[in-house]
Structure 1
Amino acid sequence: MPAPPSASQQRQAARLSTSVVFKPTRTDMALIEDLEHRTFLWFWEAGDAQTGLVPDRYPSDQTQASVASIGFGLTAYGIGVERGYITRQQAIERTLNTLRYLTKLPQNNSAENSSGYHGFFYHFLNNKTGLRFNKDIELSSIDTALLMQGILFTESYYTQDTPQEAEIRSLSNQLYQNVDWAWMRRPDLRLSMGWSPEHQFLPNYWEGYSEGMMAYILALGSQKHPLEPASWQAWLTTNDRRWGEYYGQTMLNFAPLFGHQYTHSWIDFRGIQDDWNREKGIDYFENSRRATYAQRTYAMTNPGKWQDYGKDVWGLTASDGPGEVTQTVGGTPRHFMSYSARGTGRDYTQDDGTIAPTAAGGSVAFAPEIAIPALREMKHRYGNHIYSRYGFVDAFNPSFHTADKSFWSDTAYLGIDQGPILLMIENWRSGLVWNTMKRNPAIRQGLLKAGFQGGWLGNGIGAPASATHASAPEPQTSEPASQHANAQHPAQGEQGQTG
């Protein structure tokens, strides 16, 4: 492998990260509107209208539902209403069916006849029965947290004084309050990553900056089974050793971009700080903006010499891949991976030339001035190899070659990768999800117990963001596209393909 770039080279390549006021062109907005609609349609068409179960991946495999995908889906339906893709009544019916179904699923310690335990849900459920998919599947604290984010969104979005919307609020609160966070807490105050009847609590726990952040905030905000603030401090213990410069950005490192996106998809961290933030003079939103720039700079310097990497083709995160194959590329043996947590940071780099569009798409709210040009360039350069009925396929790899194919692209779309694209685009455009969650008492309570202060927490919705966010302006407003009330797709297309 080539030697990594020097510190001076990294700083020079990172200079583009200085504050920029981004003014999207009409072409940019046409792409964003089309991508948002197509990505919404994935949730609407992949989800079961009667049960609300949403598959982990679609259309390639419809056997297992992902509770995390359900959380993103419940949020997607509200976005669909505001954008005019579906009517409010359509969203109400799908949401009610989902919440009613989840409420009735069995919760017990059985290995086979259960969907969850202590209010937590199994990572994957059988898409037909709603039960644990198989004995390899754990009761997942983080996937339950992703589900609960969507559930709390419904509680705060459907606020009209009607019997159906009142039922949504009641069921949402019931499902959230049933989660026994204190049971999932280990003696050292940190949350376990999961539990199973066969092995009890997993040996791994949530510690340090990651998507685990949302689980702690949700747990701190619970009225029925809360964690205490000491658990937040236990989660923070590794932050200092992850803090440092990487590719010109001084930040709290987490290699795959999904860790910088998931919690932020629902919670607006601009201008609010916990004690650790205040010590470093940063907030978690600014940290994610820097992580986005670091990934782009990594691609521009391209230490691995992967094909097509550059200023507008970048993005490493957990995603599908070509498979566990070793090939000779440019005279050098290269190992390619299947699904893997690709990323780059001070802790590690895992990169096989696979680009996941959700890395840029889920970062639109952080750094639209680099994320949107990346989406535009990838769509322009690779066309229907990577962009089709439901927007961008999960991943592609221009470096992967076989005897008859010179480019690999996925045929699948994953709910946990589609979700950040949809939610973060809408947050950039209107702030819808962020502003809805600001009204949720559990989210506010969780943040306050974690020690967050300032910004909208102190001054209410509409308070200006921190002055450090010049490159990520206040969400752009855009009128709903009410002509799409029947969720008809703007254009048909072929599924992603290899070629």
Structure 2
Amino acid sequence: MKRIILSIITISLISDSCKNSQTSKQEVSKIQAVKSDITDEQLMDRVQKDALKYFWDYAEPHSMLGRERYHEDNIYPDNDKHVVTTGGSGLGLATILVGVERGFVPRKDAIKRLTTIMDFLSKADRHKGAWSHWINGETGKTVPFGKKDNGGDLVETAFLTSGILMVREYFKNGNAEEKALAKKCDELWKGIQWNWYTKGGEKVLYWHWSPEYQWEMNFPLQGYNECLITYILAASSPTYSIDAETYYKGWTRNGTYLSDKEKYGLPMYVKHNGAEEYGGPLFWTQYSYIGLDPTNLSDKLIKNYFDLNKNQVLIDYKYCVENPKQWKGYGPNYWGLTASYSRNNDGTVGYDAHFPQNDHGVISPTAALSSFPYSPKESMDFLRFIYTQKPEFIGSAGPYDATSINYDNWTTPRYLAIDQGTIAPMIENYRTGFLWKLFMNAPEIQQGLKKLSFKSEKYNIK
């Protein structure tokens, strides 16, 4: 259990002293339920546009990166309105690309903003090329995520880099301004010293390194959780690459992370760290797969990453429908457990990694909405239900981060970048495969996947 919690990206939000957010509803914008005759396509457009607002309308105004959190009730712990999140901003880059591709934001405006972002990142603190988990959006200085977590965060850097590469690929053949933006992206990507994070050549990547505390965080990246993309990028780097042995010895634990267990008749394929009975929080099926297309993707050990992710999502869904704890509201149109804000026993707002073995009656909308590629019908049922029947769960930037019908329609009028940022990209990957195509066709990614013995007929990776 502690292993799961430690691997959650926004661990330091586990508690805050804010009052029950229900008391602040009068301060929050009122959203009307949409009409029930809205089409599926219109609904997907609506939620994608709403999620985009988090990164477009509510971005940190100097860096233009995604804030760690945005609170409609205007209550913030530690006055952190200028704290930006590295990983969440990577999801934000992907979200902005979706906005450009769908015509939700003007292309010229997006280029200007993305150029500002890349210029900021080039001047921000870096630790052997990696960025810290949090950055001060005004100064570019590292904001410690914890006492010893005040240096490079390789996993957050990977999520950010995935977005940077997709921006590069999208604009690299454009006009002069677009090519200049792509060049900035390329330089940022090539400056990340992935192999430094093997701690002197160990056959595993490490999550953290600090100039002050060195390797004292001591968190090796070993599967299975949300960190696969870190190894893909590290193997793909044209400047500071790792070898295939590091992937198979480190990430797969010498192949011992495989599992023959099933749940609800669905094979799990891998041992989910700390969550082997049902699988982990659903963000594990999302963060690494914003750009990495799991469709018929295989390596030496996993025959089909899409099946691995699909089964994890469907196990979560079936658990919520079975509803062994008898939470009010759980069912086919109200499901999805992942890391998000949460409700403490005393009714205050906390943070938790929700999954079947850690289920507290709180549904995180991003869980089902970001699972569209794996569960289109079940995700659409959730999307339609929450927009047409639960307007109290919707804010100015889409569904709020955490909800509970069981606790008298409790919600918190707040958002987290890392949760809001998966919604538009994963829905778009379901609709068109847009971001998957950008990422998977990047030349270095193709070479890196081949190095690790990945195969994908879809992208001619053999």
TM-score (norm 2): 0.83
Displacement of 1:366: 1.3
Bigger mean CA deviation after superposition, 269-278 or 159-168? 159-168
Q: Distance in 2 between matches of 1:190 and 1:242?
A: 21
Q: Distance in 2 between matches of 1:459 and 1:179?
A: 25
8 A contact 1:57–1:414 mirrored in 2: yes
Give the structure 2 partner of residue 77 of structure 1.
Answer: 96
Matched, 1:204 2:214: no
SS at match of 1:116: coil
Give the structure 1 partner of residue 115 of structure 2.
Answer: 96
Matched ranges for 1:246-261 at <5 A: 246-251=263-268, 252=270, 253=272, 254-261=279-286
Cα 1:230–1:127 shift into 2, 3 Å: same
Displacement of 1:243: 4.4
Give the structure 2 partner of residue 285 of structure 1.
Answer: 306
**Alignment match of 2:351 (pick from 329, 339, 342):** 339
Q: Percent identity?
A: 29
1:398-447 deviation line (CA, Å, top 9, x unaligned): 233xxxxx332011111111111110111111211111112211221221
Q: Distance in 1 between matches of 2:67 and 2:419?
A: 12
Q: Distance in 1 between matches of 2:260 and 2:218?
A: 25
Bigger mean CA deviation after superposition, 161-170 or 296-305? 161-170
Give the structure 1 partner of residue 160 of structure 2.
Answer: 147
Cα 1:128–1:82 shift into 2, 3 Å: same
**Alignment match of 2:394 (pick from 370, 387, 396):** 387
Q: Distance in 1 between matches of 2:67 and 2:133?
A: 11
Q: Distance in 1 between matches of 2:172 and 2:211?
A: 38
Give the structure 1 partner of residue 262 of structure 2.
Answer: 245
Q: Which runs of 5+ in 2 are unaligned?
A: 1-36, 273-278
Cα 1:240–1:71 shift into 2, 3 Å: closer
Q: Distance in 2 between matches of 1:160 and 1:223?
A: 20
Q: Distance in 1 between matches of 2:266 and 2:349?
A: 28
Bigger mean CA deviation after superposition, 134-143 or 64-73? 134-143
Cα 1:243–1:196 shift into 2, 3 Å: farther
Task: Letter of the 2:428 partner, please give it.
Answer: E
Matched, 1:41 2:53: yes
Give the superposed CA RMSD.
2.0
Task: Letter of the 1:353 partner, please give it.
Answer: G
Displacement of 1:188: 3.7
Q: Distance in 1 between matches of 2:235 and 2:214?
A: 23
Cα 1:337–1:343 shift into 2, 3 Å: farther
Displacement of 1:355: 0.4
Matched, 1:263 2:275: no
Displacement of 1:361: 0.7
**Alignment match of 2:39 (pick from 24, 27, 33):** 27
Give the structure 2 partner of residue 55 of structure 1.
Answer: 67
Q: Distance in 2 between matches of 1:241 and 1:272?
A: 16
Q: Distance in 2 between matches of 1:421 and 1:285?
A: 18
Q: Distance in 1 between matches of 2:306 and 2:40?
A: 23
Give the structure 2 partner of residue 397 of structure 1.
Answer: 404
Matched ranges for 1:434-473 at <5 A: 434-458=436-460
8 A contact 2:455–2:461 mirrored in 1: no
Matched, 1:375 2:383: yes
8 A contact 2:450–2:461 mirrored in 1: no
Cα 1:84–1:337 shift into 2, 3 Å: closer
Q: Distance in 2 between matches of 1:337 and 1:243?
A: 38
8 A contact 1:154–1:169 mirrored in 2: yes
1:38-86 deviation line (CA, Å, top 9, x unaligned): 1112110122455222201113542311011221222222211111111
Bigger mean CA deviation after superposition, 215-224 or 118-127? 118-127
Q: Which runs of 5+ in 1 are unaligned?
A: 1-24, 106-114, 328-335, 401-405, 461-499
1:225-278 deviation line (CA, Å, top 9, x unaligned): 000001110211265454421233112344100011111111112122101123
8 A contact 1:72–1:150 mirrored in 2: yes
Displacement of 1:195: 2.0
SS at match of 1:288: helix
Cα 1:243–1:97 shift into 2, 3 Å: farther
Task: Letter of the 1:118 partner, please give it.
Answer: K
Structure 1 segments (4+ residues) deviating >6 Å: none
Displacement of 1:142: 0.7
TM-score (norm 1): 0.77
1:300-344 deviation line (CA, Å, top 9, x unaligned): 111122221112211111100123x268xxxxxxxx982111113
Cα 1:165–1:145 shift into 2, 3 Å: same
Give the structure 1 partner of residue 189 of structure 2.
Answer: 176
8 A contact 2:88–2:160 mirrored in 1: yes
SS at match of 1:120: coil
Q: Distance in 2 between matches of 1:266 and 1:341?
A: 23
SS at match of 1:272: coil
Q: Distance in 2 between matches of 1:197 and 1:309?
A: 47
Q: Distance in 2 between matches of 1:255 and 1:285?
A: 16
8 A contact 1:261–1:363 mirrored in 2: yes
Task: Letter of the 1:47 partner, please give it.
Answer: A
Q: Distance in 2 between matches of 1:310 and 1:354?
A: 13
Q: Which has the larger radius of gyration?
A: 1
**Alignment match of 1:365 (pick from 345, 370, 373):** 373
SS at match of 1:121: coil
Cα 1:243–1:392 shift into 2, 3 Å: farther
Q: How many residues align?
A: 404
Matched, 1:87 2:112: no
Q: Distance in 2 between matches of 1:430 and 1:379?
A: 23
Q: Distance in 1 between matches of 2:256 and 2:102?
A: 39
Matched ranges for 1:256-335 at <5 A: 256-278=281-303, 283-323=304-344, 325=345
